[in-house]
Structure 1
Amino acid sequence: MKDTPGWASPGSAPSDGQEPGASHPAEPTDRPVGAQPADQPGPNPQSPGTKWSEEQPPPGPGQWSAPAGPPNPGQTPPPPPPPPPGPGWGTHPPAGPGGAYPGGPTGPGQGGYGGWGAPGGWGAGWGGPPPAAKPGVIPLRPLAVGEILDGAVATMRTYWRTVLGISLTVAVITQVFVVLLQGLILDATTDTNALGDPSATADEQLSAMGDAMRASGPVLLITLIGTITATALLTAVTSRAVLGKPVTLREAWRDARPQVLKLFGLIFLLMLIAAAIVLACLLPGILVSAAGSSDAGAALKAFGILGSIVLVLWLLIRLSLASPALMLEKQSIKKALGRSAKLTRGSWWRVFGIQLLALIIANVVAMIVVVPFALLGAAVSDGGISGMVDASSDYGWTYLIISGIGSVIGSMITFPISAGVTVLLYVDQRIRREALDLDLARAAGLQDYGTSAPGTTPGS
């Protein structure tokens, strides 16, 4: 056995087959060197050329200690101990002033982990898994919440000409129809004065509420149509932004045009499903009220409203990824709904939280723009700013036009964020469940992506 400095005992080297520090009987000096003692078992055991001293120094750090008793005949000696820590691989470098180590915290008493990960220290040759490829606005791996929001904003910033052109065009057309509808038709046929009159009867207030709902219905329908169109066009832009490829307004329309009618059908079907759920939840209360029990019917209606809100919200989030599935996979309406239900299975709360956060951020930013325009429009109108709380006030065309300009600017912010977050959520769920990052890398032109050793593929 070859002695290695740092762990062998001082003095002569121990023999193979014997433990160091053990006592031995005196051997005759006239025995030939290499002759086998009569009492030593085993085939061809060898005797040490030099005997151990009867008095050994006391065991110290890193030394062997003498066994408590004589070794058993034929027992295999224990392996040698590991060498004590030295200045080589895996050890701390020498401490500096104050007990600090290079690469660690400095100052008196700041020893601890010094040198770990520092040059020459433990792990100096391993820097963790390689970063994920990022050909476009997001890295090709499962995304965090901040990366989804940042990807939507980065799409607006990088492709601002196309995004601005789509959002501005759709918002202007939408607001023109809304302003014309409100100024020419709704203001003349809608009477909401009873809402601000405390002396109005219950029937008058209910009639005023009905007029207000009928007036807001067409406005919401036009806004919904504009949102669907913007979402269809911006989905194509965001999908190109993920690959880092440029896209023009004409290319976005060419990609989205075959699926636009299907997207309208999808939204219309979702609205019908939501209306059917609300009606089913309110039906017991309506029937009980019709039977003559108004109090019980009112209570059932209240519970029905709460239940319908929960069910409709759950359904809309579960099917919220149907729009990008329809546009990007060229699926039918039924298959797009099934794809969304599959992708959001087990991730409902995550999808809900991200979309709610994006909605809050987009609308807060939009309100910062819209409210000053609404106040300006009210200030230059006959009713003044104080008339904004009066339901009977009629601001006329000046207010409608100025507030419409603010709504256009706000829509230019909300359209890209809402569409971008929805598309990136769809991409993220497919990366997590279907390894879409490999297909995206090939589409982006990345060579040998995902062919490295296991565990190094982004998103694994």
Structure 2
Amino acid sequence: MNDSPGWAVPGPSPSDGERPGASDGQGGTDGAPPQPSQPAGGQKWSAEQPPPGEWSSPGAPQAPKPPQQQPQQPRPGPGWGSYGGPQGPEGGRYGYPGGPGQWGKPPAAKPGVIPLRPLDLGEILDGAVATVRSHWRSVLPITLVVATVVQVISVLVQKYALADLAVTTDPEASLQDLLDTLGGAMTALVANGFIQLIGTIIATAMVTMIFSRAVLGQGSTIGQAWREARPRLLHLLGLTLLMGLGGAALVVVLLLPGILLRNIGLGLVGGLAAVPLLIWLGIKFSLASPALMLEKAGVITSLRRSSRLVRGSWWRIFGITALTGLITAFVSAVIVYPLTALGLAIGLADGGVSGLENGTAATGWAPLILAAVGAVIAQTITMPIQAGVTVLLYVDQRIRREALDLELARAAGLENYGSDPAAPPTGG
């Protein structure tokens, strides 16, 4: 943890100040006021003493005593209750928001985009959006450059590699022609997918470093993010390829019995079984990327770390991840689909209905460029949000399980954080 580039800023340990209620040499312990000493000779004062300012001479008639009124206790403020806190005066108990039997949450330090305590769904999403909004000079240029390079290469591949692979309706086309067409298409798609993978890895690594500093309330430049992310890029590539190859191997193993036995039903059962297994493994190892980047762990170690952090919280992480995917998919659709439809309309206006039959309507310059522009805008916005949610989920799980908030507060330079025994706990 101390080697993590995101929050390994040296800082003092929480000071061991005097605990409240410690003896100071002037009175009793536990903050009790000093008791008055007894008079000389062992004589005790009377238990009923007249109030100050009402002494009278001996033999004078005594005025009737006014009835004593109990001092009114102050009413607790909103959000404070009478259960769950340490013992207070008059037998009551102090409470704090978010304590047992309380509404709300305990107050927590917030040096950066999130409070240093276990987070809920709204705080995770808000932290991701707040980071993009407050650090946009560092985040958006990274995703914009990566998305632009990826989409330019994608347009060139679709224009010059896939344009000749027109859809044919000739029933007499030979098997060799179909295999050549399929092979060319697969080669172009694999090359395009590999370029997108490299771009996504670079953007994810740099954005992860920016988010790790935003948690501490620190800014990060593009050059600083690149210097911190560059040593981990090959590890992150290896992790991504290992997870991809592992998922593909799982699908092949489940489909293999149906293929060998030439049983379509068995193949369908294997394919249906592969879907939930892939989702389960994807969530189980979803926190491996931030663990690899921020803890400088190896590929296998980061997979184990993710498995331990997700254990017991699989459904919660799945729900947050799925909701984030739905939100980003909706935002992307709102941006991409109108521009794609406009490009197709321009292609139909140029080539007519025959463009749909031979596939040239979708491979013209206007449809490709407009679709690429929409994809660039959508990826520039959604890519950092998805990466940020993953990083904040990682931070949240470590706060719940390992009290990471203490380390983060120390790295952020907060004095005496967590040293007050009366403060509500922040660890899970």
Fold shared, TM-score > 0.5 on shorter chain:
yes
- The reply on whether 1:161 has 2:137 as its aligned counterpart is yes
CA, structure 1 residues 344+133, in 2 after alignment: closer, same or farther (shift >3 Å)?
same
- 1:119-159 deviations in whole A, cap 9, x for unaligned? xxx99985536511001000001100111111100011000
TM-score (norm 1): 0.67
Deviation for aligned residue 1:202:
12
Instruction: Give the letter for the 1:257 counterpart.
Output: R
Secondary structure in structure 2 of the residue aligned to 1:320: coil
Amino acid at match of 1:192: V
Tell me how far 1:406 sits from its aligned partner: 0.9
Q: Look up the match of 1:423.
A: 391
What is residue 192 of structure 1 aligned with on the other side? 167
**In structure 1, what is the equivalent of residue 200 of structure 2?**
227
In the TM superposition, what is the alpha-carbon distance from 1:217 to its structure 2 partner? 3.5
> Residue 269 in 1 paired to residue 242 in 2?
yes
Asked if 1 retains the 8 angstrom alpha-carbon contact of 2:147 and 2:380, the reply is yes
Question: 1:268, 1:143 → 2: CA distance?
Answer: 31
Question: Mapping of 1:58-77 within 5 angstroms?
Answer: none
Q: Which has the higher contact order (CA 8 A, sep 6+)?
A: 2
Q: What is the SS of the residue equivalent to 2:242? A: helix
C-alpha root-mean-square deviation of aligned residues, in Å? 3.3
- Bigger radius of gyration among the two: 1
Provide the rounded CA distance (Å) in 1 between the counterparts of 2:315 and 2:173.
44
**Post-superposition shift, 1:347?**
1.1
More deviation, 232-241/176-185: 176-185
Equivalent residue letter for 1:285: G
Q: Does the CA contact (< 8 Å) of 1:233 and 1:256 recur in 2? A: yes
How far the C-alpha of 1:86 sits from its partner, in A, is 8.1
Q: Cα distance 1:447–1:322, how it changes in 2: closer, same or farther (>3 A)?
A: same
1:328-364 superposed Cα distances (whole Å, 9 cap, x missing partner): 1111111111111111111111111111111110111
Alpha-carbon distance between aligned partners in 2 of 1:173 and 1:219, rounded to the nearest angstrom: 11
Residue pair 1:192, 1:212 contacting (<8 A) in 2 also: no
CA 1:91–1:454: 2 relative to 1, 3 Å: closer
Structure 1 gap segments, 5+ residues each: 1-84, 93-101, 104-121, 290-296
The answer for the alignment partner of 2:3 in structure 1 is: none
Contact 2:332 2:379 in 1 (8 A): yes
1:193 Cα deviation after fit: 3.6
Identity in percent: 49
CA contact (8 A) 2:401 2:427 kept: no
Deviates more, 1:209-218 or 1:426-435: 209-218
- Structure 2 CA distance, aligned partners of 1:389 and 1:352? 43
Matched, 1:132 2:108: yes
The 5 Å alignment of 1:427-438 reads 427-438=395-406
Aligned pair count? 338
String of CA shifts for 1:372-421, please: whole Å, max 9, x gaps.
21122222224679969946321312211121111100111121111000
State the partner residue of 1:20: none
- Using a 3 Å threshold, how does the CA distance of structure 1 residues 200 and 227 change in structure 2: closer, same or farther? farther
CA distance in 1, matches of 2:94, 2:207: 44
Is residue 316 from structure 1 mapped to residue 282 from structure 2 by the alignment? yes
Structure 1 counterpart of 2:209: 236
Partner of 1:148: 124
Q: What SS class does the counterpart of residue 376 from structure 2 fall into?
A: helix
Pick closer, same or farther for the CA change 1:211–1:241 going to 2, 3 Å. same
Equivalent residues in 2 for 1:322-337, closer than 5 Å: 322-337=288-303
Q: Is the 8 A contact 1:141 1:459 kept in 2?
A: yes
Any residues of structure 2 matched to 1:292-441 within 5 Å, and which?
A: 297-382=263-348, 390=356, 392-395=358-361, 396-441=364-409
Amino acid corresponding to residue 183 of structure 1 in structure 2: K
Structure-2 residue corresponding to 1:457: 425
Call closer, same or farther: CA 1:410–1:387 in 2, change over 3 Å.
farther
Give the whole-Å Cα distance in 1 for the aligned partners of 2:355 and 2:310: 42
Q: How does 1:77-226 map to 2 (within 5 A)?
A: 88-89=72-73, 128=97, 130-188=106-164, 190-194=165-169, 215-226=188-199
Residues 152/439 of structure 1: CA separation in 2 closer, same or farther (3 Å cut): same
Change (3 A) 1:350 1:389: farther
Q: Is the 8 A contact 1:192 1:392 kept in 2?
A: yes
Amino acid at match of 2:240: I
Extract unaligned runs of 5+ from structure 2.
Answer: 1-68, 79-90, 99-105
Residue 216 of structure 1 deviates from its aligned partner by: 3.7
C-alpha change, 1:278 and 1:450, in structure 2 (3 Å) is same
Q: Which amino acid aligns with 1:282?
A: L
Which letter does structure 1 place at the counterpart of 2:230? R
